[in-house]
Chain A
């Protein structure tokens, strides 16, 4: 598979998918920080190991391990040459099916640029618009929703049930203390320097704006 569309397929092939997606952004300065994305399919690894042996499943072409590794390496490669992105590290555990990519960014602007460059590789298939996923201005950090819930539109509605038990966790850590958050489900840590938000992906398919959050910092 030449494109990264398997990333969309991966959760689908977990059937009653027990998987978690974790988004962690830890600021080490006003604009700079570390970003880490983790896809943990450990709970469904047995199903995944069996299904991945198939060529196609539920109408989707499935990649083999080499293809997955190749595509993830391509993501790493794109990040490595992106402006303002350094120290790109990856961890692919095909035994537990846990995939993680971590990198340092020098500004939120360059972080958005790098993420859009990855998305750019999918544009032929999915026409993703430029997205300012994160914003940090005047002491406010914003996590925006992808406009028009583009990614979820690519998934056949009849496959939404596969997300029944899947979750997405967002953790944002700051140097400054957090004053407030706009998302009522977000929890502020005891030291007031981190915000935690966890959602069921099925809820997000119905309402992608649940992920959006505006965090006011002191």
Chain B
């Protein structure tokens, strides 16, 4: 009996697997570098009929307007996003966008579910150039219909459209062997891959034919001129030159055939690659632990950057340029400890009264040990006394162990350098950087300040500036005068906790030696106010803090701190103490202050008032590191908490 039940269960399991419909997520390969998932169904419901797609169309990856080398633009993603229903797009489903590199291509792929594949197909290849088989090929296969051009390749398989946008203007295939036809001097760019990149139809046959024809025609012309009574030689010569016996037409036809053959051959070569894009991936990305964590909830938008080492290398690595020199050395394949298993992600959700963005950064085991240790440091409540909280408009607090964090970045960066491809002449740069870094006094860097800082904007100050103008006497004779006017400027305070007073004093004294500063008190220096610098900037060194502020009250009178009643609220203090990163922007308070301090009846001020009426606070904070990940959460609250924030914001944008 048990045996029978097992067979039955196995049968049910197999049957359920075979009938399971392939979902869009199954097509995204695990080696995609960037993945964006947009939940159209959610956004449609939340936007309540307002057009949100027009804000999306310009920010989607791989969607910029290209200057096509051949003018054949077979499809416009931008047009599809502005009019999705006309393109037969199913707006009740999800859409995926991912970037991937293979041996032959790198580019962005859009995966769209279709309601009407015929409608979608009717929008492909409608440009005039696209009727030329040298620029555009269409092929029906078992897997679906494919539309191929050098810039965009589209596959339609059942109700799914795969739109691939090539990063480059042309595909290049390395193993192509082609008999070179034509005059070498008409090749440009030194194409490594053997393709004919001529932009001229004039091949060697053309020149050979033309030479023979000119010899004959010139001889005939000589005879014609000598035997004719016509003395208008110019016209005779021009008539002769205009006629080339069809040599040019034949050369153009050959050139067209070459181009057609090249495109068809590329297509055949790449077809299998693009067929694989249209099939479920063998190892789909949803099996990735970090990605799965992002998509487990029904988020409106998800962005995932998979192992962004290549991008980080471009930013941080001085050797990230492409070298063509012969002594170019491939990456050394050193062990990767700190730069492996790194990924980053973001989710965006429009809730009732809130817009919520969460970011995630995942690290490998070794890297995470340092990150986790860095996040153990919490804010010091003693620093609160320097912040006047009576008119708080925005604050940000950071408390991270920079020494631990630096250990991670140090290891990560040197690993990145050691795994870089460099030319032989640059072999010594990486060890030189590492040598210099090892000689730097880390105690001074990490030991001076306590890795705790708070920056706040808490009101406005009056500041005077002078300017040149003119005054006129009773007979209107002018004379130049210097006038003064008072302007409002935001009051800013930046407090850095001091760990080692001796080091901090050393820094303070060195800074005070610059001529732009004046010593106001033993522990206060002031940046000299000038006509160019409209405010006084004070640097204050106290027992436990290094303060930079433009508030003279704090710098000169309240060095031991403000009264308790003037400080930030208990909620704000608690919020800061519970996070390593904590930021709060009282948007409506800032906007109202701008209105009060810079009164105007302009349209811009009306817009500011409109925003102030709708926007609440912006809150940003981190959550506790866990599962090899750190995350941050940003919440923009709106004054109307009963409606969905997407429809409120779209309405607001429409009114502005």
Instruction: Check if B600 sits within 8 Å of A171, measured CB to CB.
Output: no
User: Per-position contact with B for A46-62: 1 when CB-CB < 8 Å, else 0?
Assistant: 10000000000000000
| A46 & B475 in contact (Cβ 8 Å cutoff) | no
Interface segment, B9-17, B466-474, B558-566? B466-474
Q: Quick check: A20 and B469 within 8 Å, CB to CB?
A: yes
Q: B470 to chain A: which residues have CB within 8 Å? A: 20, 22, 40
Is the CB of B532 closer than 8 A to any CB of chain A?
yes
Give the residue of B475, B478, B532, B603 whose beta carbon is less than 8 angstroms from that of A193: B475
Cβ distance A97 to chain B, nearest Cβ, rounded Å: 9
Say yes or no: B532 contacts A46, CB within 8 Å. Answer: yes
Question: Which of A16, A18, A40, A196 is B476 in contact with, Cβ under 8 Å?
Answer: A196
B467's contact among A22, A43, A173, A193, by CB below 8 Å, is which?
A43
Is B534's CB under 8 angstroms from A161's CB? no
**B604 on interface, CB distance cutoff 8 Å:** yes
Q: Are A191 and B475 in contact (CB under 8 A)?
A: yes
Let me know if B68 is at the binding interface, CB within 8 A.
no
Cβ-defined contact, A96 with B468, below 8 A: yes
Residues of A contacting B475 in the complex (Cβ-Cβ under 8 angstroms): 189-191, 193-194
> CB of B328 within 8 A of chain A?
no
Within 8 A of A (CB), among B265-320: none
- In Å, the complex CA distance between A24 and B478 comes to 10
| B residues less than 8 Å from A203 (CB atoms) | none
**Contacting pair B600 A16 (CB below 8 A):** yes
- Beta-carbon contact of B476 and A161 below 8 Å: no
Q: At the interface, yes or no: B485 with Cβ under 8 Å from chain A? A: yes
Q: Within the complex, what minimum Cβ distance (angstroms) separates A182 from chain B?
A: 18
A96 and chain B: residue at smallest CB distance: B468
B467 to chain A, nearest CB (A): 4
Q: How far is the CA of A158 from the CA of B467 in the complex (A)?
A: 28
For residue B427, CB closer than 8 A to chain A, the reply is no
B219 proximal to A (CB < 8 A)? no
Does A45 sit at the interface, judged by CB under 8 A? yes
With A20-B469, A46-B532 already in contact, the answer to whether A173 and B476 are too (CB < 8 A) is yes
Contact A189 B476, beta carbon cutoff 8 Å? yes
Q: Does A28 contact B (CB under 8 A)?
A: no
B437 contacts partner chain A, Cβ-Cβ < 8 Å: no
Residues of A within 8 A of B534 (CB): 46
The contact sample of 26 A-B pairs, CB cut-off 8 A, is A18-B467, A18-B485, A20-B469, A20-B470, A22-B478, A40-B468, A40-B469, A40-B470, A43-B465, A43-B469, A43-B485, A45-B467, A46-B532, A96-B467, A96-B468, A98-B468, A158-B603, A161-B602, A171-B472, A171-B476, A171-B478, A189-B474, A189-B475, A193-B475, A194-B476, A196-B476
Return the chain A residue nearest B482 by Cβ.
Answer: A42
In the complex, B323 has a CB within 8 A of chain A: no
CB distance from A89 to the nearest CB of B (A): 16
CA distance A191 to B465 in the complex (A): 35
**Neighbour of A161 across the interface among B465, B469, B478, B600, CB < 8 A:** B600
A190→B475 CA distance, assembly (Å): 6
- Residues on A lying within 8 angstroms of B by beta carbon are 16, 18, 20, 22, 24, 40, 42-43, 45-46, 96, 98, 158, 161, 164, 171, 173, 189-191, 193-196
With contact pairs A173-B476, A189-B475, A194-B476 given, residues A42 and B600 touching in the complex (Cβ less than 8 Å): no
Answer whether residue B213 sits at the interface, using C-beta atoms and an 8 A cutoff: no
Does B598 belong to the interface (CB within 8 Å)? yes
- Which applies to chain A's interface (DSSP): helix, strand, loop or mixed? mixed
**Closest-CB distance, B529 to chain A (whole angstroms):** 13
* B472:A42 contact, CB within 8 angstroms: no
Task: Flag B523-536 by CB within 8 Å of A: 1 or 0 each.
Answer: 00000000010100
Which chain A residues border B468 with CB–CB below 8 Å?
40, 42, 96, 98
Q: Tell me the complex Cα distance, A196–B534, Å.
A: 33
* A45: chain B residues within 8 A (beta carbon): 467
Chain A CB count within 10 A is highest, among B467, B534, B598, for B467
Give every chain B residue within 8 A of A161 (Cβ-Cβ).
Answer: 600, 602-604
Q: Tell me the complex Cα distance, A22–B480, Å.
A: 13
Q: Which parts of B522-564 form the interface with A (CB within 8 Å)?
A: 532, 534
Q: How far is the CA of A207 from the CA of B436 in the complex (A)?
A: 68
A16 and B469 form a contact (CB under 8 A): no
What distance in Å separates the Cβ of B598 from its nearest Cβ neighbour in chain A? 7
B602 and A164 contacting across the interface, CB-CB below 8 Å: yes
**Complex: chain A residue closest to B532, CB-CB:** A46
Q: A161-B602, A164-B602, A196-B476 are in contact. List 16 more A-B contacts (CB 8 A).
A: A16-B598, A18-B485, A20-B470, A24-B478, A43-B465, A46-B465, A46-B532, A46-B534, A98-B468, A161-B604, A171-B476, A189-B475, A190-B475, A191-B474, A191-B475, A194-B475
- Contacting residues of chain B (79-122) with chain A, CB-CB under 8 angstroms: none
In the docked arrangement, what's the CA distance between A42 and B485, Å?
A: 12
Kindly provide the distance from the CB of A149 to the nearest chain B CB, expressed in whole angstroms.
20
For A195, the closest partner residue in chain B by CB is B476
Q: Which of B472, B476, B534, B604 has the most CB of A within 10 A?
A: B476
> What are the residues of chain A within 8 A of B472 when measuring CB–CB?
171, 196
Q: How far is the CA of A96 from the CA of B482 in the complex (A)?
A: 11
B152 CB → nearest A CB, Å: 31
Distance in Å from the Cβ of A147 to the closest Cβ of chain B? Answer: 28
- Nearest CB on A from B470, distance (A): 7
Shortest CB–CB separation between residue B310 and chain A, in angstroms? 30
Taken together as a complex, chains A and B put the C-alpha atoms of A122 and B603 apart, in Å, by 30
Residues of B within 8 A of A24 (CB): 478
A195 to B475: give the CA distance in the assembly, Å: 9
Q: Which 9 pairs between the two chains have the least Cβ-Cβ distance?
A: A161-B602, A190-B474, A42-B468, A42-B467, A194-B476, A43-B467, A189-B475, A196-B476, A191-B475
Give every chain B residue within 8 A of A194 (Cβ-Cβ): 475-476
Given A171-B472, A191-B475, decide whether A164 and B600 contact each other with a Cβ distance below 8 A.
yes
CB B596 to nearest CB in A, in angstroms, measures: 15
Give the complex CA separation of A193 and B478 in angstroms.
Answer: 14
**Could you give, for residues 604-629 of chain B, a 1 whenever the CB lies within 8 Å of some chain A CB and a 0 otherwise?**
10000000000000000000000000
A174 to nearest B CB, angstroms? 11
Residues of B within 8 A of A171 (CB): 472, 476, 478
